[in-house]
Amino acid sequence: MFNSDQLLINTIIFIVGLCFGSFLNVIIYRLPRQLSLVSPPSRCPACSKKLGFVELLPVIGYLLIRGRCRQCNIKISPRYPVIELATGLLFLFTYFHFLFSLQFFIYLTLLFILFGIAMIDLAHRIVPNSLVAAGLVAGFLFNLPRFVNYLIDLPAWIIAQGDPLDALYGMLFGGGIMLIIFLVSRGGMGAGDLKLMVLIGFYLGLRGTALVLLLGFMMGALIGVTFMILGKLTRKDALPFAPFLSLAALIEVFQGEQIWNWYINLL
């Protein structure tokens, strides 16, 4: 049976996601260049024309102006609507999986930040400290009711699931493994990846962190070998690792339980 109310909710969540994707584009462009995220208003990077209302509409605006600046006619990268659309889908799929729950907001915060970090690392080979710090602060606030609940009884819906110490174990394990690799490789693994795994470990706990590391290294190795075979990469070249860790975290959030159950059944 067609549920118009649910369709409306899904549509609103998707549109909100598109808007957040538009802001994520601002973060991805401005943060590595150490520009303010709030001023000046969005402009054409070529002619500095201030974008109007239509041009600022996520995805639709890009289509209406046919991917070109109205003033200088320079081609605008399709990356912008792609990121907006991907963020909208991220919001929608996270809602499908967790509905309106505290876990929905927790994991959506993590995945949104990881998406931004992955795109910045791809373009600039850096993991911004400010995004990692924002994720850790948000994670601390999400987990704060867990500790307050030891003193006074709080409503169950504001208390994050799981063992409060699991976040600490995840941070120590993820950060510790990356620190060992960083020291052994003598800088071959970036310090940004170390900080990123601390963030991921804080949200996903010990078991989730282990799976993220396993999947991240497997995907990184597969892509690295493929690029070397195609002649796109040499052994001395380094791949940005944040995208692989971020994708692995996405898989863990949505399919981690199923992967663990499959693994256990094999034993």
The whole-angstrom separation of Cα 231 and Cα 228 is: 5
pLDDT in tens, 203-247: 999 999 999 999 999 998 898 888 888 877 777 777 889 999 999
pLDDT in tens, 107-154: 999 999 999 999 999 999 999 999 999 999 999 998 888 777 777 877
| pLDDT score at 172 | 94
Does 80 have pLDDT greater than 80?
Answer: yes
Least confident of 14-23, 175-184, 199-208: 175-184
The answer to whether 266 and 225 have CB atoms below 8 angstroms apart is no
Give the pair of three-digit tokens for residue 187: 């800088």
14-21 mean pLDDT: 96
Alpha-carbon distances, residue 187 vs 183, 184, 190, 196, 238 (angstroms): 7, 8, 6, 15, 11
Mean pLDDT of the chain: 88
Does 2 have pLDDT greater than 60?
Answer: no
Which is more confidently placed, 195 or 228? Answer: 195
| pLDDT score at 238 | 75
The reported pTM is 0.91
Whether the link from the prior residue into 40 is cis, omega within 30° of 0, is: yes
